[in-house]
Amino acid sequence: MLVVGAAGKTGRAMTAALSRRGVDVRAALRSPARAETAYAAGASSISVVDLESGLGLDEAVDGVDAVYHLAPNVHPDEVGIAERVASAAARAGVTRFAFHSVLHPDDTSMPHHVRKGRAETVVRELLPHATVLRPAAYHQNLVGAALSGRIAVPHSLDTPFTNVDLHDVAEVAAAVLTTPGHEGRAYDLAGPEQLTVREQAAVAAHVLGHPVVAEQLVPEAWAEGPGAALGEQSRADLLAMFTAYDRGGLVGDPAALTALLGRRPTTWAGVLTR
């Protein structure tokens, strides 16, 4: 099976989950310099692709049974990338395809969510049997901050999130690619509890046994600090996301993830304990 974006945060988790199931994983990478990262996650071969031009995609999908497609985070050409990957898979006659979307791809207050929604449509037009996974924000986004004792975010500390464990997402993604019955389906993948960032800091302090403070950054300071390295479109996308998070956080229904896992999804405390 081919995992696109295999050297990234999600791609490594996907590669590991598939290889634990005995699947032979080909890692699609932007640069061969990332090969060791992909091999360490469990890939058995690599294929170099450029998602922006499509170069290398036909070779990457040649001979694979399935493709897991995830786009680089907040990429302005998410829809074009989805079209290039799905077209290559369709040309190669790939029978299983899963697309890593996002929770609430129809939320027009977040342009990168809307692009994910358009990408879902493009994928479905080319590959009607494709499965769509729509994860909430990952718990893993805040683990490093919790361990450091300071969770600083450029949005409200008091709106709710149903964050999800990336390992649970990868386990489900591996299952939908390796077992029948998920063709043409779309699943929201949300965690089992609603927590604000302030509550997440309190849980982290309890589990980790050291103080963890929650701090709200001014979005403008974020834009001039961590956000400064991003392209203009990606920075604007994330600023729009922070405004949406100020209004209502990001909340989904854990029912589909619970059913697919056959157990309660991992809690924030569970992720920190692990």
Q: Which residues of the shown chain bind ligand NAP in the complex (CB under 6 A)?
A: 5, 7-11, 30-31, 34, 49-52, 70-73, 100, 102, 135, 137-138, 141
Contacts of 181 (CB under 8 A, 6+ apart): none
CB of 144 to ligand NAP, least distance (A): 13
- The single-letter code of the amino acid at 92 is A
Nearer CB in complex with ligand NAP: 10/211: 10
End-to-end CA distance of the chain: 28
Minimum CB separation of residue 28 from ligand NAP in Å reads 7
Closer residue to ligand NAP in complex, CB, 135/249:
135
**Of residues 189 and 212, the one with the C-beta less far from ligand NAP:** 189
Q: Which is nearer to ligand NAP, 21 or 30 (CB)?
A: 30
Per-residue tokens: 234 = 């990606």
The candidate with the shortest Cα–Cα distance to 192, out of 145, 233, 139, is 139
Q: How far is the CB of 55 from ligand NAP (least distance, A)?
A: 9
Nearer to ligand NAP, 168 or 181 (CB): 168
**Cα–Cα distances in angstroms (integers) from residue 210 to residues 131, 144, 203, in the given order:** 41, 14, 11
The CB-of-103 to ligand NAP minimum distance in angstroms stands at: 7
Phi and psi torsions of 14, nearest 5° = -65, -45
Residue 227 is classified by DSSP as G
Shortest Å distance, C-beta 48 to ligand NAP: 8
Residue whose CB is nearest to ligand NAP in the complex, by number: 8
Beta bridge partners of residue 48, listed in sequence order: 29
What's the rounded Cα separation, in Å, for the pair 68 and 230? 26
